[in-house]
Amino acid sequence: MKTKVLLVTHELKSYRIPIFRKIVEKDSIELTVAHSGNPSKDLDSSIKEVIIGLRKMRVFTYFEKPFIKLVNQYDVVVCTFYIMNLSFLKLALIPRRKFKLIYWGIGVRASYNNPFDAPTPINQVRYMLARKADAMIFYSDYARNKYINKGISAEKLFVMQNTVEVHKVSQSNPKRDKFLFVGSLYKSKKIFELLESYEKARLQTNKIPQLHIVGNGSEYDSVVEWIEKTSNQDNIILHGSIFDENLLSELFQTSFACISPGQAGLTVLKSFGYGVPFITHKDAITGGERLNIIHNLNGILYEKDEDLVEILIDITDHPERYVEMGINAKAFYHKERTPEIMAQGFIDAVNYTTISE
């Protein structure tokens, strides 16, 4: 008999759906995803969907009253680890609950405004919830080890190494001729740090590849203005947002490196999947994805802002070095970070809670 599992989140992200499909492929889990967004156009009949109302109360959120009735229909309930959701907190406090409870998330502080795992009193709430939950799922071994050090049983702590699906690459050795940035154009991403570094490098070498920028956001118009002001229309190509994975795949496969000074999120894994090294600051904003970068092996973690200029020049003068890093990045992805591997972490956590009844 299949285990009935309800996964609850505020919003269903499209990049998670391939992971969910891998979970149900094992044929041991019947998965329902409950969220408060619009119905998904990408889900098929293998995964059920429930839309639930979400309310706000100052900084907190909570689901409408039918939520408790909903969760009681399942063997296992997996909630994303949103501390500010009162409904998620309440589940941990229900005495003699009928379902097994798992929290799934980063496990440490991570935001645009704070360094990864910055100290916060909220950690004490996280540890309390972890003790009351039947299992925990984290995005990284870093978080798991931290909770073990806080005295929480290691056997109930699981890892779903955060990743994304990539398309199969048609060319085994594509020609690489560009730099790439993929992400929202916000100040926190430090897009202008990349632009200024590119301009300084361009003035030092006339061989520098084009910089292709994929994304939109509040700084888009300012980026356009900067490009025109510095006469870089032929050197820096703005694509805007691209949602077609075939187009993204082509851009990744023809790039020497993906560069993001201010943030290292899931684009790290997408880059690796397409055989592209990732370059970012060692203190870039991250949900833990930055931890996948092994300096000088599958990417670059630089320390000073001015280092980026030298890196861009180095790629221009020694492209074969970065092609080799890309080969290492792709090997790492296929060995350690595929959707199948991520899905298995979820399956292992669910199986643990049902076996330990």
Instruction: Provide the residue ranges of all domains of the chain, joining segments of one domain with +.
Output: 3-163+338-355, 178-336
CATH number, domain 178-336: 3.40.50.2000
Residuewise pLDDT in 10s, the chain (357 residues): 899 999 999 999 999 999 999 999 988 999 999 999 999 999 989 999 999 999 999 999 999 989 999 999 999 999 999 999 999 999 999 999 999 999 999 999 988 878 899 999 999 999 999 999 999 999 999 999 999 999 999 999 999 999 999 998 766 778 999 999 999 998 888 999 999 999 999 999 989 999 999 999 999 999 999 999 999 999 999 999 999 999 999 999 999 999 999 999 999 999 999 999 999 999 999 999 999 999 999 999 999 999 999 999 999 999 999 999 999 999 999 999 999 999 999 999 999 999 855
Q: Can you state the angle between helices 339-355 and 17-25, rounded to 10 degrees?
A: 50
The reported pTM is: 0.94
Q: Which residues contact 226 (CB under 8 A, 6 or more apart)?
A: 192, 195, 232
Candidates 3.40.50.2000, 1.10.3130.10, 3.30.70.100, 1.10.10.10; correct CATH number of 3-163+338-355?
3.40.50.2000
Domains 3-163+338-355 and 178-336 equal at CATH topology level: yes
Checking 233-237 for CB contacts under 8 A at 24+ apart, the result is 234/210, 235/198, 235/202, 235/208, 235/210, 235/211, 236/195, 236/198, 236/210, 236/211, 236/212, 237/210, 237/211, 237/212, 237/213
